[in-house]
Amino acid sequence: MVEGVIINADDYAMDGGVDAAILKLSAQGVVTSTSAMVLSHAWPEAAAPLKDAPLSRGLHLDFTSPFTGDIFPRQTIAGLTMRTHSGVLDRKLLRKEIDRQLSQFETHMKALPDFVDGHQHCHLLPCIREALLDALADRYGADARRI
């Protein structure tokens, strides 16, 4: 493994095949981090082997996969992009959903996420980025800077 290079595998907990491949590649030193889809029904069971894997573990913030929709309505990435740039997202629901996903990660990993990224890069969108940074600061204080 090259020092300083991060190779992240998204979508942990999407399905058993994805999880097995990520865990195998991490054991081989190929993958150095993974981000988890904590809204997946597989997440509670998939979290256990991830705790001992030799990699960084993060939250794969999700608003667009089939796992979403309980609090914040499921979006297409195009629709989400349009709504974030036009500022018409319900910010209270957005924050509630971010907090829910952070809580799901913490509950099953018994730790803070090492990082947060987004399914289809949604974490970079206006409104979402700001709500995520606020949530991290509110929940983790000074530790938010390392996340």
pLDDT tens digits along 16-69:
999 999 999 999 999 999 999 999 999 999 999 999 999 999 999 999 999 988
How far apart CA 3 and CA 15 sit, in angstroms, is: 30
Q: Give the pLDDT confidence score for residue 3 in this predicted structure.
A: 66
User: What token pair was written down for 133?
Assistant: 């940074």
40: helix, coil or strand?
A: coil
What residues are paired with 57 via a beta bridge? 34
Q: Structure pTM?
A: 0.91
Report CA 38 to chain centroid distance, whole Å: 7
Q: Give the pLDDT confidence score for residue 71 in this predicted structure.
A: 79
Residue range 65-94: mean pLDDT, rounded = 88
How far apart CA 139 and CA 105 sit, in angstroms, is: 13
Contact predicate 90/75, CB 8 Å: no
**Regarding beta strands 115-118 and 8-12, do their DSSP bridges make them parallel or antiparallel, or are they unpaired?**
unpaired
How far is the first Cα of the chain from the last one, in angstroms, to the nearest whole number? 23
- Write down the mean pLDDT value for the chain: 92
Task: Determine what percent of the chain is predicted with pLDDT higher than 90.
Answer: 78
Report CA 77 to chain centroid distance, whole Å: 16
